[in-house]
């Protein structure tokens, strides 16, 4: 005789947790409509006994809040734009997603913003600053049943549910490799401009870059990292200073935002030595820099895909989904003038 399916079998078939299946079968709220229908469809396929005509209590929309650092970083602004443009998609998913601009580079302001969300949201995505007060805030939210997802920059030793972003060590290595190859073995210096090394993403990229340059025998040619706080005007000043202090400058890796400032300074100095320029993101300014040859390559994380991943993972975590924290980092995509989308 065919063995009757068990609740664990149904959970496996539907791709959700046993707790979620239990809520669906017992008509309890707290499960998104799309998940309810997935569980019911799996039950029908398996001939699992369900009460088809029993009323199902509809879950309230999943409330998601995304915290983004304020400032002039246009790459970060694109994430806010992606949220604004995706409201129809969120509504179809049973999600209400909004974003807030908070003070950047300030761990205490970030921690305070996280804690203020207690009782006001069902899940949070944020760009983490590596600091104990941020870690404690994340753990406090976890204790209240509010899952968090780190976006772009991760947070070590915390109870965050998952990380959505690049493998930043690999991204830094990639930038170093590109600079070394594109400068063709010429003798000279390499510079790095970060937003702030308090962002784990930036410190990991810097580490990856340093490692690959060491392996290539170019470590002695690497200038100490500058921090421009992702501000275009500050990055422009730093770039002008680098060009003045190092006439043999071969390449610049802009680790964070504010690439347009670096590009502006390089455009002004075009009469001098050609400098290879690698950065992150694909704003309208960066497109222009790639097209006119000021910038050579951009390492990109797609804002739309990243935001949607955060929302999906937070939904899974809210419903007791297993394994969301093991999400793999996004592969780096390198954009040149020739493959601009």
- Find all residues with CB under 8 Å of 297, minimum gap 6, and list them: 178, 182, 278, 279, 290, 334, 335, 336
Chain-wide mean pLDDT for the chain? 91
Give the C-alpha separation, 100 to 18, whole Å: 34
Co-location of 83 and 24 in the same domain: no
Indicate the residue among 60, 89, 107 that finishes a domain: 60
Mean pLDDT for 163-169 is 96
pLDDT at 319 over 60: yes
Co-location of 172 and 288 in the same domain: yes
Give domain status of residue 24, yes or no: yes
User: Given CA atoms 224, 134, 158, 324 in this order, what sign does their dihedral have?
Assistant: negative
Mean pLDDT for 284-288 is 96
- CA-based max dimension of the chain: 84
Co-location of 177 and 277 in the same domain: yes
Higher per-residue confidence, 39 vs 117: 117
The enclosing domain of 194 has a CATH number of: 3.40.50.2300
Strand order of the sheet with strand 62-69? 95-102, 62-69, 123-126, 148-151, 162-164
How big is the chain by its Cα radius of gyration, in Å? 23
Co-location of 218 and 252 in the same domain: yes
Q: Left (φ > 0), alpha (ψ -120 to 50) or beta: where does 275 sit?
A: beta
Q: Left (φ > 0), alpha (ψ -120 to 50) or beta: where does 47 sit?
A: left
Q: To 5 degrees, how large is the angle CA 266–CA 272–CA 277?
A: 35
The CA-to-CA distance between both ends of the chain, in Å, stands at 57
The DSSP call for residue 337 is: G
Indicate the residue among 60, 77, 111 that finishes a domain: 60
Banded pLDDT at 190 (limits 50, 70, 90): very high
Question: Cβ(205)–Cβ(153) under 8 Å?
Answer: no
Mean pLDDT for 291-309 is 96
Helix (H) / strand (E) containing 30 = none
Structural domain of residue 74, as residue ranges? 62-165+303-329
Pair of tokens at residue 198:
């308090």
Co-location of 294 and 219 in the same domain: yes
Co-location of 196 and 277 in the same domain: yes
Give domain status of residue 55, yes or no: yes
Co-location of 126 and 3 in the same domain: no
Banded pLDDT at 48 (limits 50, 70, 90): confident
pLDDT at 49 over 90: no
Helix (H) / strand (E) containing 12 = helix 7-14
Q: Helices 200-215 and 168-182, interaxial angle, to 10°? A: 40
Closest CA to 181 of 218, 211, 207, 224: 218
The total of structural domains in the chain comes to 3
Give domain status of residue 172, yes or no: yes
Co-location of 33 and 68 in the same domain: no
pLDDT at 230 over 90: yes
Mean pLDDT for 236-259 is 96
Co-location of 34 and 125 in the same domain: no
Q: How far, in whole angstroms, is CA 337 from its chain's centroid? A: 24
Give domain status of residue 291, yes or no: yes
Closest CA to 262 of 338, 283, 306, 34: 283
The DSSP call for residue 338 is: G
Mean pLDDT for 108-125 is 97
Closest CA to 330 of 210, 97, 162: 162
pLDDT at 162 over 60: yes
Co-location of 98 and 188 in the same domain: no
Co-location of 51 and 88 in the same domain: no
Give domain status of residue 257, yes or no: yes
Express each pLDDT in 67-102 by its tens digit. Answer: 999 988 999 999 999 999 999 888 878 899 999 999
The enclosing domain of 19 has a CATH number of: 1.10.260.40
Give domain status of residue 336, yes or no: no
Question: Cβ(332)–Cβ(279) under 8 Å?
Answer: no
Give domain status of residue 249, yes or no: yes
Co-location of 110 and 231 in the same domain: no
The DSSP call for residue 298 is: E
Higher per-residue confidence, 43 vs 289: 289
The DSSP call for residue 146 is: -
Q: How many angstroms separate the Cα of 239 from the Cα of each of 6, 219, 250, 270?
A: 64, 20, 12, 13
Q: Which pLDDT does position 73 carry in this prediction? A: 92
Give domain status of residue 91, yes or no: yes
Give the C-alpha separation, 63 to 98, whole Å: 8
Q: How is 168-218 classified by DSSP, letter by letter?
A: HHHHHHHHHHHHHHHTTT---EEEEEES-TTSHHHHHHHHHHHHHHHHTT-
Q: Which pLDDT does position 59 carry in this prediction? A: 61
């Amino acid at each position: 005789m065919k063995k009757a399916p068990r609740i664990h079998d149904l959970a496996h078939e539907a791709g959700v947790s046993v707790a979620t299946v239990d809520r669906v079968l017992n008509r309890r709220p707290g499960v998104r409509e799309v998940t309810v229908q997935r569980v019911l469809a799996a039950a029908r396929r398996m001939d699992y006994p369900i009460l088809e005509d029993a009323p199902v209590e509809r879950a309230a929309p999943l409330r998601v809040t995304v915290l983004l650092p304020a400032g002039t970083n246009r790459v970060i602004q694109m994430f806010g734009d992606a949220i604004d443009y995706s409201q129809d998609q969120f509504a179809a998913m049973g999600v209400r997603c909004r974003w807030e601009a908070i003070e950047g580079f300030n761990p205490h302001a970030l921690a305070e913003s996280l804690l203020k969300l207690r009782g006001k949201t069902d899940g949070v995505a944020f760009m983490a600053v590596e600091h104990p007060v941020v870690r404690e805030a994340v753990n406090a939210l976890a204790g209240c049943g509010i899952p968090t997802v780190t976006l772009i920059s991760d947070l070590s030793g915390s109870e965050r549910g998952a990380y959505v972003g690049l493998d930043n060590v690999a991204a830094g290595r990639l930038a170093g490799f590109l600079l070394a190859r594109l400068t063709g073995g010429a003798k000279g210096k390499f510079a790095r401009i970060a937003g702030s090394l308090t962002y784990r993403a930036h410190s990991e990229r810097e580490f990856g870059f340093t490692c690959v340059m060491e392996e290539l025998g170019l470590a002695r040619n690497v200038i100490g990292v500058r921090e421009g706080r992702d501000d275009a005007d500050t990055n422009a000043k730093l770039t002008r200073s680098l060009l003045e202090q190092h006439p043999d400058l071969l390449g610049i890796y802009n680790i964070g935002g504010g690439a347009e400032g670096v590009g502006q300074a390089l455009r002004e100095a075009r009469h001098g030595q050609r400098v290879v320029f690698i950065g992150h993101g694909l704003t309208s300014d960066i497109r222009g820099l790639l097209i006119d040859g000021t910038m050579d390559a951009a390492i990109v994380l797609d804002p739309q895909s990243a935001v949607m991943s955060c929302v999906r993972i937070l939904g899974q975590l809210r419903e007791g989904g297993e394994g969301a924290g093991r999400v793999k980092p996004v592969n780096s995509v390198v954009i040149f003038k020739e493959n601009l989308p």
